[in-house]
Amino acid sequence: MRLLVLEDQADLRAAVAGRLRAHGHAVDEVADLATAESFVRSYAYDAFVLDRGLPDGDGLTALRQWRERGIATPALFLTARDAVEDRIDGFAGGVDDYLVKPFSMDELMARVGAIGRRGGAIRPSVLRVADLEVDLGRREVRRGGIVLPLRPKEFALLQLLAERAGQVVARHEIVACCWGEGQEPASNADEVLIAALRRKLGDPPLLRTVRGAGYLLDEPDAARP
């Protein structure tokens, strides 16, 4: 499985990621919500292992936002909070399971395996807009059955647009997704990226510029200027 581990304690994060890798999993490690958001927009995961109390916010708030965007990836929370009220709040916010610190690494592996099996059948893996398919599992894009060769930033951008098909996506959201929160790309790099993606998507056009607002991915009729 491919897993995202979000934990701000470096020693615990390294220990968790190391054990998961030792069992054959691919693991991305992050220490804050801003970086996690960038990774979630760029990659498809089989499970999340998340801390709640983070330096730049609440992990549960972030999970709620991901759920609202249709990201159903199973989530295991690592937490020092063991109150019933906290667990109820978490389950209502989209948490699949809890592991209270300190914990056994053997129990961690068992719980990760359980939520991974549970989520395999429910996590949406293909986003569709007209005849365009964005396969998150294979990281492959097809239009009319033909595979389109996209670079990593192009794929991340297309995933963002496809997840919000029919809605305008602002430039600052694209920059955060493709370059990282708080970063500013080189002059016109975002416009160059948009132009490259539009060219690769081909005709009839699906990607439209909404002046003063951002960009929109939608059915061909809606995408014509």
Question: For 15-71, what is each residue's pLDDT tens digit?
Answer: 999 998 888 888 889 999 999 998 888 777 889 999 988 888 888 999 988 888 778
Residue with tokens 């370059």: 179
For position 125, what pLDDT does the model report? 65
Given a cut of 90, is residue 132 above it in pLDDT? yes
Q: List strands edge to edge, sheet with 140-143.
A: 126-129, 132-135, 140-143, 146-148
Task: Give residue-wise pLDDT tens across range 87-127.
Answer: 777 788 788 898 888 888 999 999 998 887 775 544 456 88
* CATH class, range 2-120: alpha beta
Three-state SS for 38? helix
Residue 168 phi/psi, 5° resolution? -75, 130
Going through the chain in order, the beta strands assigned E by DSSP cover 2-6, 26-30, 47-51, 53-54, 57-58, 75-79, 97-100, 126-129, 132-135, 140-143, 146-148, 168-169, 207-210, 214-217
Cα–Cα distance, 202 to 218 (Å, whole number): 13
Which carries the bigger pLDDT value, residue 222 or residue 79? 79
Please check whether the two domains, 2-120 and 126-223, share a CATH topology: no
What is 126-223's CATH topology?
Answer: Arc Repressor Mutant, subunit A (1.10.10)
pTM confidence score: 0.55
- Please say if the pLDDT value at position 186 is more than 60: yes
The full set of domain ranges for the chain reads 2-120, 126-223
Residues 40, 176 contacting (CB under 8 angstroms): no
